[in-house]
Amino acid sequence: MKRSLTLLFLAFALALPLYAQAPPAVVSSYSLPREETLFQVSSLSALLNGNYDGWTTFADLKKHGDFGIGTFNALDGEMVQVDGQIYQVRSDGKVYPVTDTALTPFAVTTYFYPRLTRVIAVVLPDLPALEKAIDALRLPGLPCAVKITGSFDYLKTRSVPAQSKPYPRLVEVVKTQPTFEFTNVTGVMVGFWLPRDFVGLNVTGYHLHFLTADRTGGGHLLEAKPRQITVELEPLRQFQLILPEEIGGAAGGNVAEETTKVEN
């Protein structure tokens, strides 16, 4: 009996360290609040390669956000989503309504709840100065949704025309893009700042689209001279990407170089 108790004690003593060292069950969740999630349809690389066929409806896109930018089926213009509404700026510079059944080949959206708001009541000479002012406000290295409302002495935008198959690469499309100029205008800029980790996935740095206050004009932002603006920023901590079943197009090219040419 004594020997049995000794063996039982030894067995327990040997088991105890193993039990003590076993890590507890780890319960974690990556389901962050929806307003901290960047939701994206397709990748920049796919768009650069000429994948312009829309495959996601705007009804589905709006399930993931109320604030964003993108484009339309066949690359037919610039998308601006603000306050839950989606607008289409076509190559004629005019703004058109968008139906829920319309399709997008590339878009980015989030639920916008700004964490920082700052009024800039001085004239900024150009777009780099505006970006530098925003840099001083945002969290370094963290993706960020950017909304800028106010008055501008000058703005220059662009919008690409709808394409026909076989689709050319985007870097070729923008060589003939129409541009539009605005003076003494009020409106809103919508977009994102993304770190270099997003190379190939999306535009790194700032990517902004503009919409006039009366919703009659806008486009992809090329130049700006703000007079008095309110900057609102929301850090984004989660990224969700969905891709089509097939990605074709004219593969090749340098993503970083072509992105720079497309943005400028």
Q: Phi-psi region for residue 173, left (φ > 0), alpha (ψ -120 to 50) or beta? A: alpha
- Output the CA torsion sign for 155, 147, 226, 185: positive
* Residue 78 DSSP label: E
Tens of pLDDT, residue by residue over 47-77, are 999 999 999 999 999 999 999 999 999 999 9
Number of domains in the chain: 1
153 bridge partner residues: none
Q: Is residue 249 part of a domain?
A: no
Q: Is residue 231 part of a domain?
A: yes
Helices and strands (H and E) in the chain: how many:
6, 14
Would you say residue 142 has pLDDT above 60? yes
Q: Quick one: pLDDT at residue 253?
A: 60
Looking up residue 97, the CATH number of its domain turns out to be: 3.30.1330.80
Q: Quick one: pLDDT at residue 101?
A: 98
Tens of pLDDT, residue by residue over 152-182, are 999 999 999 999 999 999 999 999 899 999 9
* pTM, full prediction: 0.84
- Dihedral angle of Cα 175, 198, 225, 91, to the nearest 10 degrees: 40
Amino acid found at 205 = G
Domain span at 167: 34-243+256-263
Q: Is residue 20 part of a domain?
A: no
Q: Is residue 215 part of a domain?
A: yes
Q: What does the alpha-carbon distance between residue 114 and residue 182 come to, in Å, rounded to a whole number? A: 27
Would you say residue 43 has pLDDT above 90? yes
Q: Is residue 16 part of a domain?
A: no
| Gyration radius of the chain over CA positions | 24
Tens of pLDDT, residue by residue over 123-132, are 999 999 999 9
Tens of pLDDT, residue by residue over 81-139, are 999 999 999 999 999 999 999 999 999 999 999 999 999 999 999 999 999 999 999 99
Q: Quick one: pLDDT at residue 34?
A: 74
Cα atoms in the 13 Å half-sphere on the side-chain side of 52? 23
Q: Is residue 251 part of a domain?
A: no
Q: Is residue 1 part of a domain?
A: no
